[in-house]
Amino acid sequence: MKKWECVVCGWIYDEEAGAPEEGIPPGTRWEDVPDDFICPDCGVGKEDFEMVEI
């Protein structure tokens, strides 16, 4: 499981935790997150996330 960070605001998507409040169940891999997903904090699209080691 990996983590992905929004390069615009720093919000973290943790694959293990998912984003249940956005309708993404825990354990959802980033590649399986819908293409129209937007960052809940700043609204940028999926292309503006990058994988991070935390």
Partner 1 sequence: MSNSTAPIVIIGSGLAGYNLAKELRKLDAEQSLLMITGDDGRSYSKPMLSTGYGKGKTADELAMNTAAGMADQLNMTVRTNTRVTAIDVAAHTVSINDETVEYSKLVLAWGAEAVGPRIEGGAEDRVFSINDLEDYAAFRAVADGKKRVLIMGAGLIGCEFANDMTAGGFECEIVAPCDQTFPTLLPAPAASAVQAGLEGIGVKFHLGPLVSRIERDGEGVIATLDNGDTIQADVVVSAIGLRPRTQLAADAGIKVNHGIVADRLLQTSAEDVYTLGDCAEVEGRVLLYVLPLMASARALAKTLTGTPTEVSYGVMPVSVKTPACPVVVSPPPAGDAAGRWIVEQEGNDVQAEFRNEAGDLLGYALTGAKVANKVALNKELPAIMP
Asked if 1 is part of the footprint of partner 1 (rule: CB under 8 A), the reply reads no
DSSP for 4-54, written as a single string: EEETTT--EEETTT-BGGGTB-TT--GGGS-TT-B-TTT--BGGGEEEE--
Asked if 35 is part of the footprint of partner 1 (rule: CB under 8 A), the reply reads no
What size, in residues, is the chain? 54
Residue from 2, 10, 27, 29 binding partner 1 (CB under 8 A): 10
Asked if 8 is part of the footprint of partner 1 (rule: CB under 8 A), the reply reads yes
Asked if 7 is part of the footprint of partner 1 (rule: CB under 8 A), the reply reads yes
Q: What is the DSSP letter of 3?
A: E
Binding residues for partner 1, rule: CB under 8 A, are 7-11, 21, 38, 41-44
